[in-house]
């Protein structure tokens, strides 16, 4: 009965609102004024099959993705809001930090109750991992905080147990983690050390007489910092510490430590403080942890790489501390893989919103008394959004490739995975931030409203260029790895056979002096120019480093001073790798209409890269004439892609409810009848 009354009240309230709507709407619509026309009505029919393209874009587990979207849409916890006749599910970013954290935890419980995390740690094999990636991506489309809080628990805490631990840890923790019987966090970063993990100051000292490790924070810069989950909810943590045995430092190792009891009270000898309010991700309770000589049993050392015997002997199969450290951290690439993938989805959200808006919003007439022009009919607006759309397509293929590479990992692939994931994580997250800013501006004032998502996403996703390795540091590592490859090949006088550098074994490509439109659009030219840039920059980088070394600089400082070429080289590697993945994806398509549009997008991706990266002119890969031809071709491609813009953002697999009011009837969404009086 109560429910019925409640319903009647709601219906009545709804209808009351309608009264204003009809009476004022009648007056308003009597004069010819701007009205909303859905792009589906005003745009040309699609030239390719959108659902087939979605399969290519999402790549895998479409059924699972839709199932999870369904779960979120049907629950009040995901903050459904009615705007302009459509329901949108977007977190309420006007909530306080504490409210955001609380609702994030409740959402996790809801997903847990509905079996979303089933098999995330106990499942085995590439299929289980791909499914986990797909579900995490869907969660990210709703809210980055939710995804990160889940990611910390499963990928960092759970991943550490899985990869650093052995059977005793797996038996005890994996299933408990999957069912949230405990809540894990991951204490690696310190106030004084972030990307440089080897410099951390927390200590773990072994006491043979008690068989315990003593974890200690020796100074303020050793406080654990940014630990997601630590401020409010986590009960356990992986703590990274310098292992001391009999006064000898054995390097960084990981230990399991309980930080809260089952009632949520902080354990003795643990101090926890909040990191405070942030520019985004406020649904994640980042905290700081101090350890005051906390005692943990010897078994809590995660001992897959190295162990300590009860009597205090250090045991490891890997003797070289450098290699030991690398082997130790290798499994953490999963973080970079998921970050790269989610950056692409964030860019997709903003492009879908900005392009849909640009297909319905008009500004200025260009003829006297003529109708105002659709934003996306301005070539300048096309130039702002469509190249980003093309890049997002290319990077979508790149992220799918990276995921597959990761789940099929083997010891032989560790280096490739490290280099590719570093390069793609940096490139894709930078691309996302740039896309968000452009889309925000392209939506004008509407882009500033948090309900329209794009502006808020800037704050939510900015962290991606920093966590799991600062983007600049990662790109330097890419260049270093390429150089190592170069040195090894030259030294042994052997051909390149890894990291896609095989093209260097062939003769150097020649770029024609006069580039025509069809040459510019050929994969041959596109591949040639990207390969040319990469091989030349690698040569230059090697030459510069060895020149500095010849002048007496150490290898390390030679790297540091050669940062300019190193940066160019990292970009060159990444762009070339993405192009080759996109070409392969395109080659695997049989449907002519899809192949055709993918070809246009690929050309746009390459040509806009040529236009934007000064390296092509700086090092003379393109003549100024050719650079002018490239610029012209970009404008031409914009006008060719323009008619397909709606179709292209309809393939992203993001349901309407996860976009925003300005992507649909923004007149209705802002009408007087929706004002709550």
Alpha-carbon distance of 150 to 183, in angstroms, equals: 10
**Which of 245, 237, 150 minimizes the C-alpha distance to 203?**
245
Q: Does 10 bind other proteins (CB under 8 A)?
A: yes
Region of residue 469 (left: phi > 0; alpha: psi -120 to 50; beta: else): left
The response to whether 237 counts as a known ligand-binding position is no
Task: Write down the least CB distance from residue 90 to other proteins, Å.
Answer: 15
CB-wise, 546 or 673, nearer to other proteins?
Answer: 673
Task: Write down the least CB distance from residue 38 to other proteins, Å.
Answer: 5
Kindly indicate which of the ranges 311-319, 360-368, 492-500, 664-672 contains the residues binding other proteins, using the contact rule CB under 8 A: 664-672
Task: Write down the least CB distance from residue 329 to other proteins, Å.
Answer: 35
Secondary structure letter of residue 153 according to DSSP: I
Contact between residue 479 and residue 541 where contact means Cβ atoms under 8 Å apart: yes
Contact between residue 149 and residue 284 where contact means Cβ atoms under 8 Å apart: yes
Q: Does 19 bind other proteins (CB under 8 A)?
A: yes
Q: Does 620 bind other proteins (CB under 8 A)?
A: no
Q: Does 32 bind other proteins (CB under 8 A)?
A: yes
Phi first, then psi: give them for residue 557, nearest 5 degrees: -75, -25
Which single residue is written with the structure tokens 């083997």?
410
Q: Could you say which residues in the range 110-139 bind other proteins, by CB under 8 A?
A: 113-115
**Which of 183, 211, 181 minimizes the C-alpha distance to 296?**
211
Q: Does 369 bind other proteins (CB under 8 A)?
A: no
**Which of 142, 35, 163 minimizes the C-alpha distance to 89?**
142
Alpha-carbon distance of 60 to 508, in angstroms, equals: 38
Q: Does 108 bind other proteins (CB under 8 A)?
A: no
Task: Write down the least CB distance from residue 366 to other proteins, Å.
Answer: 20
Q: Does 345 bind other proteins (CB under 8 A)?
A: no
Alpha-carbon distance of 40 to 356, in angstroms, equals: 10
Task: Write down the least CB distance from residue 8 to other proteins, Å.
Answer: 6
**Which of 256, 247, 169 minimizes the C-alpha distance to 212?**
256
Q: 391 Cβ partners below 8 Å, 6+ apart?
A: 431, 435, 605, 608, 609
Q: Does 675 bind other proteins (CB under 8 A)?
A: no
Q: Does 63 bind other proteins (CB under 8 A)?
A: yes
3-state secondary structure of 520: helix
Q: How many beta carbons lie within 10 A of that of residue 325, not counting itself? A: 17
Of 460, 468, 586, 611, the active-site residue reads: 468
Q: Does 35 bind other proteins (CB under 8 A)?
A: yes
Q: Does 509 bind other proteins (CB under 8 A)?
A: no
Contact between residue 356 and residue 440 where contact means Cβ atoms under 8 Å apart: no
CB-wise, 89 or 339, nearer to other proteins?
Answer: 89
Task: Write down the least CB distance from residue 63 to other proteins, Å.
Answer: 7
Among 54, 60, 86, 636, binds other proteins (CB under 8 A): 86
CB-wise, 32 or 310, nearer to other proteins?
Answer: 32
Task: Write down the least CB distance from residue 531 to other proteins, Å.
Answer: 37
**Which of 481, 485, 484, 479 minimizes the C-alpha distance to 563?**
479
Kindly indicate which of the ranges 16-24, 272-280, 291-299, 461-469 contains the residues binding other proteins, using the contact rule CB under 8 A: 16-24
Letters for 37-56 (x = contact with other proteins by CB under 8 A, - = none) are xx-xx-------x-xx----
Alpha-carbon distance of 341 to 95, in angstroms, equals: 27
Among 4, 315, 317, 513, binds other proteins (CB under 8 A): 4
Alpha-carbon distance of 503 to 535, in angstroms, equals: 8
Kindly indicate which of the ranges 69-77, 344-352, 401-409, 541-549 contains the residues binding other proteins, using the contact rule CB under 8 A: 69-77
Letters for 623-662 (x = contact with other proteins by CB under 8 A, - = none) are --------------------------------xxx-----
Contact between residue 403 and residue 133 where contact means Cβ atoms under 8 Å apart: yes
Among 54, 60, 64, 499, binds other proteins (CB under 8 A): 64
The response to whether 189 counts as a known ligand-binding position is yes
Contact between residue 292 and residue 217 where contact means Cβ atoms under 8 Å apart: yes
Task: Write down the least CB distance from residue 110 to other proteins, Å.
Answer: 10
Q: Alpha helix locations (H) across 31-96?
A: 39-42, 50-58, 62-73
Q: Alpha helix locations (H) across 276-378?
A: 321-329, 333-358
Active-site residue 468, yes or no? yes
What beta strand segments (E) does 417-541 contain?
none
Q: Does 24 bind other proteins (CB under 8 A)?
A: no
Count of residues engaged in binding other proteins, rule: CB under 8 A: 53
With 0-12 / 13-18 / 19 or more C-beta atoms within 10 angstroms meaning exposed / middle / buried, residue 71 is middle
Q: Does 179 bind other proteins (CB under 8 A)?
A: no
Among 14, 106, 271, 313, binds other proteins (CB under 8 A): 14
Interacting residues with other proteins (CB under 8 A): 1, 3-5, 7-8, 10-12, 14-16, 18-19, 22, 26, 29-30, 32, 35-38, 40-41, 49, 51-52, 63-64, 66-67, 69-71, 73-75, 80, 82, 84-87, 113-115, 655-657, 664-665, 668
Active-site residue list: 468
Positions at the binding site for FAD:
189, 228
């Amino acid at each position: 009965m109560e429910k019925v009354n409640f319903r009647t009240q709601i219906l009545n309230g709804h209808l009351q609102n309608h009264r204003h709507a009809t009476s004022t709407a009648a007056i308003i619509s009597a004069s010819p004024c701007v009205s909303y026309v859905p792009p589906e009505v005003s745009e040309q029919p699609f030239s390719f099959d959108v659902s087939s393209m979605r399969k290519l874009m999402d790549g895998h587990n479409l059924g699972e993705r839709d199932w999870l979207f369904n779960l979120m849409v049907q629950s009040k916890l995901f903050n459904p809001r009615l705007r302009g006749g459509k329901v949108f599910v977007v977190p309420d970013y006007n909530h306080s930090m504490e409210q955001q954290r609380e609702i994030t935890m409740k959402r996790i419980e809801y997903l847990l109750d509905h079996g979303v995390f089933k098999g995330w740690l106990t499942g085995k094999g590439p299929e289980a991992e791909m499914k986990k990636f797909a579900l995490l991506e869907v969660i990210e489309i709703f809210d980055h905080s939710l995804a990160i809080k889940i990611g910390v628990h499963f990928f960092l805490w759970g991943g550490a147990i899985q990869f650093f631990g052995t059977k005793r840890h797996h038996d005890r923790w994996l299933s408990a983690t999957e069912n949230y019987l405990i809540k894990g966090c991951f204490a690696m970063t310190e106030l004084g050390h972030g990307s440089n993990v080897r410099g951390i100051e927390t200590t773990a000292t072994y006491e043979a007489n008690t068989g315990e490790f003593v974890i200690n924070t020796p100074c303020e810069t050793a406080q654990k910092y940014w630990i997601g989950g630590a401020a409010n909810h986590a009960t356990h943590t992986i703590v990274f510490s310098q292992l001391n045995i009999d006064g000898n430092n054995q390097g960084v190792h990981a230990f399991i430590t309980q930080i809260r009891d089952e009632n949520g009270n902080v354990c003795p000898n643990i101090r926890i403080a909040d990191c405070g309010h942030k520019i985004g991700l406020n649904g994640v309770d980042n905290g700081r942890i101090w350890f005051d000589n906390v005692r943990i049993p010897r078994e809590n050392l995660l001992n897959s790489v190295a162990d300590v015997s009860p009597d205090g002997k250090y045991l490891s199969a890997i003797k070289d501390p450098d290699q030991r450290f690398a082997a130790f951290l290798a499994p953490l690439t999963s973080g970079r893989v998921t970050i790269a993938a989610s950056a692409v989805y964030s860019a997709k959200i903003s492009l879908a919103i900005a392009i849909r808006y640009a297909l319905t919003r008009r500004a200025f007439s260009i003829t006297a008394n003529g109708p105002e022009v659709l934003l996306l009919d301005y070539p300048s607006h096309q130039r702002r959004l469509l190249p980003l759309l093309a890049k997002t397509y290319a990077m979508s293929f790149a992220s799918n490739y990276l995921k597959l590479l990761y789940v099929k990992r083997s010891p032989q692939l560790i280096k490739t995975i490290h280099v590719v994931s570093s390069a793609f994580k940096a490139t894709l997250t930078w691309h996302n931030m740039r896309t968000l800013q452009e889309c925000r501006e392209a939506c004008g004032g509407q882009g500033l409203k948090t309900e329209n998502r794009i502006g808020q996403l800037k704050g939510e996703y900015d962290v991606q260029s920093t966590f799991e390795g600062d983007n600049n540091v990662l790109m330097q590592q890419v260049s270093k790895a390429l150089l190592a490859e170069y040195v090894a090949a030259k030294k042994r006088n052997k051909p390149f056979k890894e990291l896609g550098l095989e093209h260097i074994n062939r003769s150097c490509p020649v770029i024609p002096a006069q580039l025509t439109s069809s040459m510019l659009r050929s994969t041959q030219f596109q591949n040639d120019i990207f390969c040319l840039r990469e091989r030349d920059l690698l040569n230059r980088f090697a030459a510069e480093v060895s020149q500095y070394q010849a002048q007496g600089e150490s290898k390390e400082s030679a790297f540091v001073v050669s940062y300019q070429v190193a940066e160019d080289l990292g970009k060159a590697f990444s762009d070339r790798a993405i192009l080759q993945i996109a070409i392969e994806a395109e080659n695997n398509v049989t449907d002519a209409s899809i192949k055709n549009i993918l070809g246009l997008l690929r050309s746009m991706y390459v040509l806009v890269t040529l236009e934007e990266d000064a390296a092509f002119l700086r090092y003379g890969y393109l003549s100024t004439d050719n650079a002018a031809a490239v610029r012209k071709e970009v404008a031409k491609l914009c006008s060719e892609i323009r008619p397909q813009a709606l179709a292209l953002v309809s393939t992203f697999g993001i349901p309407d409810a996860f976009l925003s009011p300005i992507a649909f009837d923004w007149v209705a969404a802002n009408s007087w009848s929706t004002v709550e009086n």
